[in-house]
Structure 1
Amino acid sequence: MSNLSCQYTNRTALALLVAATFFLEFLDGTALATALPAIARDFQVAAADANVAMTAYLLAVAMGIPASSWLAGRFGFRRIFCLAIAVFTVASLLCALSPTLWALTAFRALQGLGGAMMVPVGSLLVLRDTPKNQLLRMTAFLVWPGLMAPVLAPLVGGLLTQYLSWHWIFLVNLPLGAAAFLAALRLAPRTTPDRTARLDWPGVVLTTLGVGALVTGLELLGSGHQAAAAVGLLLLSAALLVAAAQWMRRRGPAALFDLGVFRVHTFRATQTGGLAYRVAVTSIPFLLPLLFQDGFGWDPVHAGALVTAVFIGNIAIKPATTPLIRRFGFKPLLVIAGTGSALTFVACAALGPGTPDAVIVALLALSGALRSLGFSAYMNVQYADVSAGQLASANAVANTLVQLAHALGVAVGALFIRAGAALLPVADGSPDQYRAALLGVAALMLLSVVDCLFLPRHAGTSVSGRRPGTVKA
């Protein structure tokens, strides 16, 4: 086998490993949604309040990402990637042993810190040496976890919760984490640590606290029993902390991020509209199991099995995703995916306990197909025009916003549920409460479509291989 072929094979194997760890991290981030009613019963709290364990995990991931790229450069990519898997696995065991909701929340945060290192370090391992003409193929591996895990999570969580207990959502991570750790030792390349690398400590602290204040403020707002003044203070603090971080960045040579990457039009557009898109999409696996269980009174397996229909759509459209991108380009597909997804969310709000399962499966499968198109397009076009020197900063920024979107998806979903209860004269747990939340998510999805309309007509042609002018869009 030639050196070129060997390098391609090794890169593909590494991409599959990183995709597996992403899947593990994303799956665990959302599998608890189906188990929330059971966890709430065990810890004697409301189901919507038990989502603090989900939010703490996603919040820790988002807060931990800013320093992860520096850690990888300073101590070596292979070492940090393996450490991340180990922390994630050990924290999973501690989560399963948690005696209280607050203990579970704390250990979920520790688990999230392990995930925070896995996400950007793993993707940089794959992307940093990948030529532009292979980027579409390699990023396809990394798209799968974002598509599969949130959709399979409700079924996995439902099966484990109903037939074993919610603790097994974490216990299954032990053998999977051990296998991933051994594979990482074999496949992850050794890199020379940069002992002279400096970390922008003010930027790390300010950015981390800003992200934390933002998600915590939305979480408290969504919980429905906190003072408005405290929520407002947290959100204002988030804005001030992020602004201070950017001011400090301009004064120091060791900036946490090179925000010059936002001058790249395609990157900037896919991070702003992409954030709204991911927040909306991430809230759906949180809302639907609650609608089906609390609103319709269905058991966890029934609810989880129906939500898994989204995965059917993902699978069905996936072979056509790359050809569609090459044929039509990124901009038209992003507009179609966002608009179509918003319409499916509105249709979900019209479902009732008497709706035939076949209709629900068909609707959620269509939603999954649109989800696959949107995720694939965003994942590929965001790096299309980013130079090699800006890739580390672009990767750190993009992964921070992805994880922030996952944290915000749960918080925003809970916020819309509370808003639905406040606006409508219904009891807590009523189907109308969740229907109002789904309509709110549909409106949020349309914001991403507006942003996509400002993308250049032929955005990302260096990645898609589509020649300008081949299709009128």
Structure 2
Amino acid sequence: NSMGTLVAARALQGIGGAMMVPVGWLVILRTIPRSELVGALAWLTIPALLGPVLGPPVGGFITTYFKWRWIFWINLPMACLGLVLATLFIPNVRGETVSRFDYLGFALSGIGLAGLVSASAALDASGIPLWIVLILFLLGSVSVILYLSHARRVESPILDLQLLRFPTFRAGVTGGSLFRIGVGAMPLLLPLQLQLGFGMTPLHSGLVTFVTAIGAIGMKTATGRILKRFGFRTVLMFNAIISGAMIASPAFFTKATPIGVMLTVLFVGGFFRSLQFTCINAISFAEVDQPQMSQATSFTSVCQQIALSLGITVGASMLQLSLAIRHSETLRVSDFVLPFLVVGFIAAVSFVSFARLAKDAGEEVAGRKRLGSAAVAVANGRS
């Protein structure tokens, strides 16, 4: 019944979600052969893509015809269904060795990252004094610096920075984070544009954004063939630019834009965004060995959540800047031009990270790795 209660409940929800994501990834990575990873991840990324686009129409329907609290109550039957399905179908996958939990690293990294993200979000929040923002930033910065020193001295840090020595993992983290900043802003900017700018109802705007999910699902059957034909580096480089352009494209929507044009742009955007997500997720683990998979999934999960949060912060900041330029407090259609262009540009800049990959990066995962001469000779001898 208060803002503090809502924030605390959302924090608790975030803790649960933060545990679910890396565990789900780990089950897939430890049970699926590396050569079949792209196909498995193509389907695994669907829920992550469906959530942001299914949320608006479902939430719009609930708030239009029921009470807003049911947006949260609906999670209970979904959680029960997930519990039953996990019990029936998920194997009890365990690591060969269990390392000692890094309590100090957990505290330092948690305080540091939470402080920095909170400070960036608080910059746009009205009513929060600047001294609180500075304290959060200082606390976060000091904690991160202390963690970097701590991580070099322990055998199994909670976030293993040594994983960044793998070029594919490094590209997946850096390029993937930039790309997710752009994607993370979309669930904030697009519904606001459609509802406040174009006057659509929550349900109507949700149905418009839903076509993104259709495009995302449509890409899943083609991802493997595209990667096998062009390879990770080429796909990630050029698709970063294409996806960035599609993220920026709603900046040119006006009240006169036909709904069919909007639907087509969002459908195509979902198509290419889905391809990029699958490629980023797959290339991140191309060189990681099984014993390090647990640390790798935790690392990528943290980076993903931070990037998505920063996406919302960047989108909100650009909206505030647009209002400040006009000296107004009321949003209108023209205020969304700058935010969409900025987040689209940030997503496209991920091109730089992917351009540094070797031309044959992730060949085995993409299904393009050919047999060596010795292996060919053995195969011919058997035939």
Return the TM-score normalized by structure 2.
0.90
Determine whether 1:304 maps to 2:209: no
Aligned equivalents of 1:194 and 1:107: distance in 2? 36
1:456 partner SS: coil
Q: Residue type matched to 2:91 in 1?
A: P
Task: Provide Cα deviations, 1:140-162, integer angstroms capped at 9, x if missing partner.
Answer: 23211122211222111111111
- Following superposition, the deviation at residue 418 of structure 1 comes to 1.3
Q: Residue type matched to 1:103 in 2?
A: T
State the match for 2:116 in structure 1.
214
1:318 pairs with one of 220, 226, 241: 220
Q: Residue type matched to 1:198 in 2?
A: R
Q: Residue type matched to 1:420 in 2?
A: S
2:45 partner SS: helix
Query: CA 1:270/1:192 → structure 2, altered by over 3 Å: closer, same or farther?
Result: closer
Aligned equivalents of 1:244 and 1:157: distance in 2? 41
- Following superposition, the deviation at residue 333 of structure 1 comes to 1.4
Task: Provide Cα deviations, 1:259-281, integer angstroms capped at 9, x if missing partner.
Answer: 21110001001101110101111
Aligned equivalents of 1:435 and 1:101: distance in 2? 31
Q: Residue type matched to 1:295 in 2?
A: G
- Following superposition, the deviation at residue 465 of structure 1 comes to 1.3
- C-alpha contact 1:159 1:300 (8 A) present in aligned 2: yes
Q: Residue type matched to 1:444 in 2?
A: I
Give the root-mean-square deviation of aligned CA atoms: 2.1
Equivalent pairs counted in the alignment come to: 370
Aligned equivalents of 2:222 and 2:98: distance in 1? 46
- C-alpha contact 2:282 2:365 (8 A) present in aligned 1: yes
- Following superposition, the deviation at residue 232 of structure 1 comes to 4.1
Q: Residue type matched to 2:133 in 1?
A: V
Q: Residue type matched to 2:13 in 1?
A: Q
State the match for 2:84 in structure 1.
182
Query: CA 1:238/1:447 → structure 2, altered by over 3 Å: closer, same or farther?
Result: farther
1:253 partner SS: coil
State the match for 2:379 in structure 1.
none
Between stretches 180-189 and 286-295, larger displacement belongs to: 180-189
- C-alpha contact 1:259 1:393 (8 A) present in aligned 2: no
- C-alpha contact 2:237 2:351 (8 A) present in aligned 1: yes
- Following superposition, the deviation at residue 320 of structure 1 comes to 1.1
Aligned equivalents of 1:166 and 1:354: distance in 2? 31
Determine whether 1:404 maps to 2:311: no
- Following superposition, the deviation at residue 227 of structure 1 comes to 4.1
1:134 pairs with one of 18, 28, 36: 36
Determine whether 1:374 maps to 2:276: yes
- Following superposition, the deviation at residue 405 of structure 1 comes to 1.9
2:322 pairs with one of 410, 420, 424: 420
Query: CA 1:194/1:184 → structure 2, altered by over 3 Å: closer, same or farther?
Result: same
State the match for 1:456 in structure 2.
358
- C-alpha contact 2:46 2:217 (8 A) present in aligned 1: no
Q: Residue type matched to 1:299 in 2?
A: T
- Following superposition, the deviation at residue 427 of structure 1 comes to 3.5
2:333 pairs with one of 405, 411, 431: 431
- Following superposition, the deviation at residue 254 of structure 1 comes to 4.0
- C-alpha contact 1:139 1:379 (8 A) present in aligned 2: yes
Aligned equivalents of 1:211 and 1:380: distance in 2? 25
- Following superposition, the deviation at residue 130 of structure 1 comes to 2.5
2:9 partner SS: helix
Query: CA 1:345/1:180 → structure 2, altered by over 3 Å: closer, same or farther?
Result: closer
Q: Residue type matched to 2:257 in 1?
A: T
- C-alpha contact 2:319 2:335 (8 A) present in aligned 1: yes
Aligned equivalents of 1:287 and 1:270: distance in 2? 25
Task: Provide Cα deviations, 1:36-67, integer angstroms capped at 9, x if missing partner.
Answer: xxxxxxxxxxxxxxxxxxxxxxxxxxxxxxxx
- C-alpha contact 1:224 1:418 (8 A) present in aligned 2: no
- Following superposition, the deviation at residue 351 of structure 1 comes to 0.8
Aligned equivalents of 1:253 and 1:454: distance in 2? 29
Aligned equivalents of 2:42 and 2:252: distance in 1? 33
Between stretches 104-113 and 190-199, larger displacement belongs to: 190-199
State the match for 2:296 in structure 1.
394
Task: Provide Cα deviations, 1:364-422, integer angstroms capped at 9, x if missing partner.
Answer: 11111110111011011110111122211111101111122222222222122112222
Determine whether 1:338 maps to 2:220: no
Query: CA 1:278/1:195 → structure 2, altered by over 3 Å: closer, same or farther?
Result: closer
Between stretches 289-298 and 223-232, larger displacement belongs to: 223-232
- Higher RCO (C-alpha under 8 Å, 6+ residues apart): 2
Aligned equivalents of 1:253 and 1:287: distance in 2? 43
State the match for 1:121 in structure 2.
23
Task: Provide Cα deviations, 1:275-314, integer angstroms capped at 9, x if missing partner.
Answer: 0101111211211001111122211111111111212221
Aligned equivalents of 2:94 and 2:345: distance in 1? 48
Aligned equivalents of 1:315 and 1:395: distance in 2? 24
Query: CA 1:447/1:231 → structure 2, altered by over 3 Å: closer, same or farther?
Result: farther
- Following superposition, the deviation at residue 450 of structure 1 comes to 1.8
Q: Describe how 1:219-368 pairs up with structure 2 within 5 A.
A: 219-368=121-270
Q: What are the ranges of 5 or more consecutive residues in structure 1 without an aligned counterpart?
A: 1-98, 469-473
Aligned equivalents of 2:349 and 2:81: distance in 1? 41
State the match for 1:20 in structure 2.
none
Q: Residue type matched to 2:80 in 1?
A: A
Query: CA 1:277/1:135 → structure 2, altered by over 3 Å: closer, same or farther?
Result: same
Return the TM-score normalized by structure 1.
0.74
Task: Provide Cα deviations, 1:13-53, integer angstroms capped at 9, x if missing partner.
Answer: xxxxxxxxxxxxxxxxxxxxxxxxxxxxxxxxxxxxxxxxx
Task: Provide Cα deviations, 1:224-262, integer angstroms capped at 9, x if missing partner.
Answer: 554445434433432331121121122233422332111
Determine whether 1:151 maps to 2:78: no
Determine whether 1:164 maps to 2:73: no
Between stretches 264-273 and 420-429, larger displacement belongs to: 420-429
Q: Residue type matched to 2:336 in 1?
A: Y
- C-alpha contact 2:180 2:311 (8 A) present in aligned 1: yes
Query: CA 1:403/1:340 → structure 2, altered by over 3 Å: closer, same or farther?
Result: same
Q: What are the ranges of 5 or more consecutive residues in structure 2 without an aligned counterpart?
A: 371-383
